[in-house]
Amino acid sequence: MNSIITYREAVRQALREAMEQDERVFLMGEDVGHYGGSYAVSMGFLALFGPQRIIDTPLSESAFTGAGIGAALGGMRPIVEIMTVNFSLLALDQIMNNAATLLHMSGGQFNVPLVIRMATGGGKQLAAQHSHSLEGWYAHIPGLKVLTPATIQDAYNMLGLALRDPDPVLIFENSMLYNTKGVLDPQIQPLMIGKARVQRAGKDLTILTYGISLFKSLEAASALMKEGIDVEVIDLRSLRPLDDETIMKSVAKTHRVLIVDEGWKSGSISAEIMARINEQAFYELDAPMQRVCTVEVPIPYAAHLEQAALPQAEKIIAMAKKIMEKQ
């Protein structure tokens, strides 16, 4: 039965169902138990599943991520929750040098079926240390899968897909999405990992985006339509692997590309996407590709400066018009 729920509730429902269906699944991380999770995703789970499966960890990301890797190697299905993406850097050695490489280093003998969830993105006035969008960094690493659910449906479906995957999967949940509402239909067949979704069909310009920027892009597309510019908006959903097929098909259709990425421009996933389009579909382009990214500064604390630094619908509209002028 369809229901209107929040993004937070969709993740919570997926997590609860996974734990009910498979006793190997457990959750570990800072404040996931007694506190109910930093973003209240696991509220009430300690009483429901007990301290053996809802594990409050010490403040040591390297230690509990490493414990999750060991549990995965031992046949469990751990979900490691890292409070915010910046804290994941304290576990980067475990993620990159162990989780991502053990299958290769063991000659294919040892998979690491580990799921790591973390909050990402700015907009909540958490200042420079807690407002990063580093999912593009992790998409650089072979051996990992990197998911960026934007919709209620994907927030629900992607956790199950990640738990069924034999390899380590990182799920980046934009912190500004937790309170958003939408329709969840548990009967909808999940779209597989590595497949993008055309959220809005159009013929004049392709916007490629993910996470919270999807909704800003859809807002911009609606405004642009009133001015006669028909925009196709694609939710990438997965940053590793990227869905080159869907991207190139849209480029061949619209011949113009705008990428909206909450990461910084330099060395970003937006740069990688532009390079791939240049390699595979350069002669389809009728105008130079453009990007709207976060301004290359540490994210400010002040609300007005933070909003000015992040991609916004107004910036997307302005850049789309600039692209359309290049005809």
> Domain segments of the chain: what residues?
3-184, 197-325
Number of C-beta neighbours around residue 4 at 10 A: 10
Q: What is the C-alpha separation between 120 and 132, in angstroms, rounded?
A: 6
Query: Taking CA 196 as the corner, what is the angle to CA 159 and CA 193, rounded to the nearest 5 degrees?
Result: 35
String of b and e for 235-259 (b: at least 16 CB within 10 Å)? bbbbbbebbbebbbebbeebbbbbb
Catalytic residues: 61, 130
The SS3 call for residue 27 is strand
Q: Do domains 3-184 and 197-325 have the same CATH topology?
A: yes
Q: For residue 165, give every residue at least 6 positions away whose Cβ sits within 8 Å of its Cβ, in sequence order, or none.
A: 113, 145, 193
CATH of 3-184, one of 3.40.50.1100, 3.40.50.970, 2.60.40.10, 3.40.630.30: 3.40.50.970
**CA dist., res. 9 & res. 67, Å (int):** 27
Sequential pLDDT tens for the chain (327 residues): 678 999 999 999 999 999 999 999 999 999 999 999 999 999 999 999 999 999 999 999 999 999 999 999 999 999 999 999 999 999 999 999 999 999 999 999 999 999 999 999 998 888 888 889 999 999 999 999 999 999 999 999 999 999 999 999 999 999 999 999 999 998 888 999 999 999 999 999 999 999 999 999 999 999 999 999 999 999 999 999 999 999 999 999 999 999 999 999 999 999 999 999 999 999 999 999 999 999 999 999 999 999 999 999 999 999 999 999 965
What's the DSSP call for residue 198? E
Q: Is the pTM of this model over 0.85?
A: yes
Fold of 197-325: Rossmann fold (3.40.50)
Instruction: Kindly give the interhelix angle for 244-254 and 269-281, rounded to the nearest 10 degrees.
Output: 60
